[in-house]
Chain A
Amino acid sequence: MQLTHQTSTAQGTSIISTQDVNIFYGSFLAVKQINLDILRNKITAFIGPSGCGKSTLLRAFNRLNDLIVGARVDGTISYKGRNLYAPEIDPVEVRRQIGMVFQRPNPFPKSIYENIAFGARINGYRGDMDELVERSLRQAAIWDEVKDKLKQSGLSLSGGQQQRLCIARAMAVQPEVILMDEPASALDPISTLRIEDLMQELKEQYTIIIVTHNMQQASRVADMTAFFNVELTDGKRSGCLVEYDKTEQIFQNPQQQSTQEYVTGRFG
C-alpha cells in the first residue's frame, strides 16, 4: 500500500491516492497535477468554484470518465495500492467497489424495489433480495416512507426521496467507497439535512467523497476538505488542488489566501 504521499498520516490510512494526475478532455487539460490521499472511513469534501474539475476528478476515481469520448487520465490513481488505470483492471469491477451518487437524482424508470435489486442482481448477489432491499432502504433512511409502495415507480417519489433512493441503490452493491457529486444541490433544506445525517452514519462502513458548493455542508459533514481552484496557464484554464487538510484547518486556519477567500465567501 502506498503511504508515502499521505497528507496527514495521523488521520488514518489512505484508500485512494493520486500521483501527478492530469485529466484531459481531448487536448483540454481540465485538472492538473493532483496529488492527494483519500482516507479510509472518512468523509472528504471537494470544494471550489464551478469548472475547477471537481466532478472530473471524482469521476476519474471510478473510471466513469471512460464513457466520455476523448477523456484521458495520466499520472497514477491507485485504489488500495492498485493502479486503477493499469491495463489489467476492469472498469466494471472498479465501479462495483467505488459507487457513485449523482448531482441530479437519476432513479431508473422501474419500481422502487427494482431500483435497488438491479445493482445487486448484476453483481451476482445470491442472498435474500427482499432483505437486501429493506436493509439498503433503511440505511438510506427512506424505508419508512416507501415500504408500502415498493412496486411503484422510483420516479413517483419527491426529489429528496429519489436522491435517497439513489443512495440506497448505490449501497445495495456494497461498495467500499461512495462518490457523491453535489448530492444535495437539487434538494430542499430538509432533505439536505437528512442526507447529511445519513452520511455520518454511513462513514462507519464506507469511505465517502462528496463534492459540494455549500460551505456549511462541507464544514458540517467532512473530516477532510480539499479546496480546488482554476489556474490560468498560457491562457488556458485548468483546475488544480490548492489546499487539502482537516476540515477545521481549512475553514479556520487556511494556509492559502485563495482558500481563505473562498471559504469566507469573499471569492472572485
Chain B
Amino acid sequence: METPNPVSLSIRRERTLEKSVTRGIKEKIIALVLLGCALVSVLTTLGIILTLFEVTVEFFQEVSFAQFFLDTRWTPLFADQHFGIWPLINGTLLISAIAMLVAVPLGLAAAAYLSEYASHRLASTLRPALELLAGVPTVVYGYFALTYVTPLLRNFIPLDVFNALSSGLVMGIMIIPTVGSISLDSLRAVPSSLREAAYGLGATKMEVTTQVVFPAALSGIAASIILGISRAVGETMIVVIAAGQQPRLTLNPAEQVAAMTAYIAQVAAGDTPRGTIGYKTLFAVGSTLFLITLLLNIISYLIAQRFREVYD
C-alpha cells in the first residue's frame, strides 16, 4: 500500500528541529500588527467614553443630580431652565417599546417560518430579502414615517404631525431583520435530534416549533431582542425626522415626543457654543444613552451565560 514517495522524502531530508530565526520574527510581527488593530478599536472606545464623561462631570458641577433625576421638565435652552432627563428617556423608551411590539412578533414569526416551515430553497431566497430591510438607509425610513405612515394613520386616528406612533412602527420594521436574523440562526442551531424526539411523540409542527425549538433557542432569541432594543434606543434619523422635538412626559403614542438621540442631533446641528451649559447637556444625555446601552449589553451577556449549557 505505502509506496515511498520520493518528493516527500526530499522534504524530509531538509527538516531540522532547531527554531528558525526568520519564522520567529515573522510570527512576532504578525502578532504585533494584529494586536495593534485590536487596540485601535479598544482605544477609540475608551477615548469616546473619556471625552463623554469628562464633559459630563463638568455638567454635573453646574447641575445637581436632583435637578437631573427629579425634575420632570427638560428645557435647558430656554430662559426658564430645567434639566430633568425623564422626558427624554420617556420619548426614547416609548418609541422603542412601540418598535419592539412590531419587531419581536414579526421577527420571531419570520424566523420560525424560515427555520421550521419553509423549504430549504425558499428559505435561502427569502432570508436575503428579509435582511435587505436592514440595508435601507435610516433617513429613508424617517421620511417614510413622516410623509407616508403618519398621513395614512391620520385617516383613522388623530395624530400630531410628529408623533411617537409612526416613528415606532417604522422603526419596528427596520428592526425586524435584527431580531429575525439572529433568532433564525439560533433556531437553526437547535439539534435536529430534538425535533425528531418531539415528532416521534406525535407532536405537530406548531408544537415542535413553539414548545421544543423555541425554548431550546431561548438564549439566542433573548439576545436578538436585546440587540433590537439597543438599535431602537440608539436610532437617530427616524426620531429626528418623524417623532418631534418636544420633550414630554407622556405615554400617549399620538403625541410628539423627543428622544435622547433626537435632542442630541438637534442641539449638535445648531450653533451652541462650546463650554456653555447647552453644549454640556449633549454630553450628559450622551452618557445616559451610553449607560442604557451598556446595561442592555450586560443583560444580554448574562442571559447568554445563563442559558449557555442548555444543550451540551
Contact = CB atoms under 8 A, between A and B. Distances in A.
B135 interface: no
B193 A92 contact: no
Contacts of B211: 118, 122
Interface in B195-217: 195-204, 207, 211-212, 215-216
A67 B212 contact: no
Contacts of A141: none
B251 to A, nearest CB: 37
A75 to B, nearest CB: 23
Contacts of B202: 92-93, 95-96, 119, 122-123, 173
B201 A64 contact: no
Contacts of A110: 215
A109 B212 CA distance: 8
A210 interface: no
Given A69-B120, A109-B216, A155-B311, A119 B201 contact: yes
Contact of A108 (B119, B204, B216): B216
B197 A108 contact: yes
A110 B216 CA distance: 9
B216 A166 contact: no
Nearest to B207: A122
A169 B201 contact: yes
A105 to B, nearest CB: 9
A118 B215 CA distance: 13
A122 B203 CA distance: 6
B264 to A, nearest CB: 43
A24 interface: no
Contacts of B216: 108-109
Interface string A102-116: 101011111000000
A77 interface: no
B311 A118 contact: no
B119 to A, nearest CB: 8
A73 to B, nearest CB: 16
A92 B205 CA distance: 9
Contacts of B195: 67
Most chain A beta carbons < 10 A, residue from B195, B311, B312: B311
A64 B215 contact: no
B310 interface: yes
Given A95-B199, A99-B201, A104-B193, 6 more contacts: A64-B196, A106-B193, A106-B194, A108-B212, A108-B216, A122-B202
Interface of A: 62, 64, 67, 69, 92-93, 95-96, 99-100, 102, 104, 106-110, 118-119, 122-123, 155, 166, 169-170, 173
Closest 4 CB pairs of A and B: A96-B202, A119-B201, A100-B200, A106-B193
17 contacts: A64-B196, A64-B199, A93-B202, A95-B200, A100-B200, A102-B196, A104-B193, A106-B193, A108-B197, A119-B202, A122-B201, A122-B207, A155-B311, A155-B312, A169-B201, A170-B200, A173-B202
